[in-house]
Amino acid sequence: MRILIDNKRINRNSEERYHVRKNLLAEIDWLYAALDRYGLNPKVVEHYLPQSSRTELPHLVTFDNYLLLLNGLAELTDDPLFGMHVTEALPMEMLGIYGYLVTNAPTLRKLCQNAARYWATLTQASTVEFLEQQTTSALQYRFLVSTDIPTSQEVESTLTGLVVLFRQRIGARWTPLETHFQHPPKGAIECYKRIFGEHVHFEMPTNQIVFDTPILDLRYAQADAHLLGILREQAERLLESVVRDDHLVSNIRLMIMSQLATGKADVITIAKQLHMSPRKLQLQLKKHHTSFSKIKDDLRLELAKRALLESESSVATIAQKLGFSESASFNHSFRRRMGTSPLQYRRTHERPA
């Protein structure tokens, strides 16, 4: 689910091979929880991502191997609907910045727009498209790359995730008007109906969920529009940078941002995500005349200043979103860099009414 495809195509034996940048730690986080549910050792993941399958860059694996991982785990757990069942219990915060931008959207319409727009922060090997019409609308899912490996686990996982997002707003019993899969059923039809409702259709032209258009106006009272806007703009810039030049520093900024609110944006976590030791990561960053702590501190300071001036979020809320364990730590860090407290900074720089 959480992968980024490189812009370059490598022709090998007249076949196009795509290189995929995979956010392994985030993947392992949700898979670890799932495997624990099945009573399996999380190290089983490594079996499906052998060293020989990786490219010359340590944080790249092939798209095919990612699909093989999901299919292998489905076989290992003897659960043909593994992708559905895993994602149904997936906390959305494990999807990092994407999870925040989607779950905190002020309306269901904006949720759908964000789900489609920011899917590229999870993968560029596939796409989510939001199709709004007068009476019914749809979220469609399709692959942008070709593969001979079965994709049903990934498709079912993704459509389940979209249903989970709707249920968080509308209620746990909500189901789409219709759900379409391009593949034939892989398990009991009743299992599909429990998640997707009565009208589930297989071997269709598209993968999609269909729903009533009027529900798109439903609002989410807890959404922080100002802070959401700041994070959305930052995600746009980081994503553009990563997709454009595959720059190590840009990658790390995006990884840090996706983990800030979870409190896991530390050098050990990010180094594992890149298949490097912390020492090797620091040495690589030294070549770019920077360090992990500087990248993280600069990013948090940039987000903090904008959140203080452009949102009405409390200092405590901003501190939590930036991964500080408590407001006092945020205050200390901000004062050390800016020479003033966050609250004083807001008061000094606030625009006159």
How far apart are the C-alpha atoms of 61 and 5, rounded to whole Å?
Answer: 9
How far apart are the C-alpha atoms of 296 and 352, rounded to whole Å?
Answer: 31
Helix (H), strand (E) counts: the chain: 16, 8
Out of 217, 244, 259, a domain closes at 217
Are 204 and 231 within one domain?
no
> What is the pTM (predicted TM-score) of this model?
0.66
Are 304 and 201 within one domain?
no
Please report, as a single letter, which amino acid is at residue 326. Answer: E
- Whole-number pLDDT of residue 58: 37
Are 185 and 313 within one domain?
no
Are 211 and 229 within one domain?
no
How many distinct structural domains can be found in the chain?
A: 2
Residue 56 lies in a domain: yes
Walk along the chain (353 residues) and give the pLDDT tens digit of each residue.
333 333 333 233 323 333 333 333 334 456 666 677 677 776 777 676 655 444 333 334 567 777 888 898 899 889 999 999 988 887 776 676 677 778 888 899 999 998 998 887 677 678 899 999 999 999 999 987 778 889 999 999 999 999 999 998 899 999 999 999 999 999 999 999 999 999 999 999 999 999 999 999 988 766 566 666 676 676 676 666 555 444 677 778 877 877 777 777 899 988 876 667 899 889 988 888 899 999 999 989 988 998 898 888 899 989 988 888 889 999 999 999 999 999 999 988 876 55
Residue 353 lies in a domain: no
Are 296 and 206 within one domain?
no
Out of 184, 217, 250, a domain closes at 217
Residue 352 lies in a domain: no
- Whole-number pLDDT of residue 102: 86
How far apart are the C-alpha atoms of 232 and 118, rounded to whole Å?
Answer: 9
Are 159 and 43 within one domain?
yes
Are 196 and 311 within one domain?
no
- Domain assignment of residue 106, given as a range: 3-217
Residue 351 lies in a domain: no
**β-sheet with 200-201: strand ranges across:** 126-131, 136-143, 207-212, 178-180, 200-201
Are 213 and 241 within one domain?
no
Residue 265 lies in a domain: yes
79 φ, ψ to 5°?
-125, 100
User: The CATH number of the domain where 54 resides is what?
Assistant: 3.90.1520
Are 151 and 8 within one domain?
yes
User: The CATH number of the domain where 300 resides is what?
Assistant: 1.10.10.60
- Whole-number pLDDT of residue 3: 37
Instruction: Say if CB 142 and CB 207 are below 8 A apart.
Output: yes
How far apart are the C-alpha atoms of 165 and 51, rounded to whole Å?
Answer: 35
